[in-house]
Amino acid sequence: MSGSTQDVVDMATRGLDLSGNALPSFDAPISEPSGVSPLRRPGSVRRTMTIDATWPGGGQGVGRFTGVCRDVFTDLSGGAPQEIEKASIEVMVRDRLLEQASCVPAHPAIGQLVGARAGGQSRSVIGAALPEEKRRAAPLYLLLDDLAGASLVAQWAWALNSPIWEHLGEEERKAKRAGMVGVCMGLRPGSDAMGPDGVPMDGRNTSEVGPLINPHDPDGWHPLQEYDELNFRRARRIDVWREGDLLHINSFFQDSACEPGMKNRLAVHEYLIEATVDWHSGCLLDISARPGTLPYADCRAAPVNLTHLIGEPLAGFREKVLLTLPRTAGCTHLNDMMRALAEVPALAEHLPQDRNVG
């Protein structure tokens, strides 16, 4: 579809997808978690990433975000994973403003992030400060880029048990929720998320979810931290393998939170993507997205517009996704997941190059 960003946004507000067809409707939010991760496939590359947030000040608004991203290769024998690269970060965030930042391995430009606001501003700073990490789709780049989305959704977890949120008056809460209108398809004007006053309702669907690590493949993820305090976690997994002239992708995304005393985590966003890419051109051939947990019923319509990315080269997805699926034309979190597919060509460089292997 061609047209201005406003034209694209207006289509969803009118209940239409980008092809001009009626958006699918659903009676209720979805709560069908994906469960444990699949076993690592022989001859594949896997990237796993987590960003965890805690609030050392007891919910006073300053969050500590710690992240780990690891790339591994599994050879054709299906044995233990062989580490390709790994990075970790620790960032202190106040009201989405980055106050402190460090990483391992150390990087001389990490200090340039301090003072940036998580979101478009921080992504611009990261792209300028770490151009080589962006070019080669390094684990450090994904961690820093994903602070934008993780710090936004972490506010949901913080509000679960924050004395500040608990003491806000109804009008103050409403004002904060009103700022979310129109940011995505699920929060478009007129969606089921909106109350009679046109403001998102205070409450959203969640699902209890179990561990991500498959008990039959404990090395399938990097070690995950356990907490005895309120915490938020954004988790990603991308599996990539080759079959002939096709590159296959199986990708998972989850935002969740946990409080002391809870047996299981609560997920608020979860998607599973399967995609096929032309090995030679790097262009997307086919894609499907299955939501596992989403906060509102109308969120479930967001995957319908993904077909408008078919034929596009994955390497340009970090920019192309935002141009094609802005605001109410997509889901913020599904878009983040799609943008991360820009790193698949770099991951695929570690696969066997024989077209008959896979």
pLDDT in tens, the chain (358 residues): 556 788 887 898 899 999 999 999 999 999 999 999 999 999 999 999 999 999 987 766 789 999 999 999 999 999 999 999 999 999 999 989 999 999 999 999 999 999 999 999 999 999 999 999 999 999 999 999 999 999 999 988 888 776 555 555 566 666 667 778 888 999 999 999 998 888 888 778 999 999 999 999 999 999 999 998 999 999 999 999 999 999 999 999 999 999 888 889 999 999 999 999 999 999 999 999 999 999 999 999 999 999 999 999 999 999 999 999 999 999 999 999 999 999 999 999 999 876 555 5
Q: Which amino acid is at 137?
A: A
- Model confidence, pTM: 0.93
Residue with tokens 């949901």: 156
Q: In angstroms, rounded to a whole number, what is the distance separating the alpha carbons of residues 260 and 252?
A: 26
Radius of gyration of the chain (CA): 20
Distances (CA, A) of 121 to 14, 59, 96, 186: 30, 25, 11, 24
Pairing, β 62-74 against β 284-293: unpaired
Q: In angstroms, rounded to a whole number, what is the distance separating the alpha carbons of residues 150 and 153?
A: 5
Q: Which amino acid is at 217?
A: D
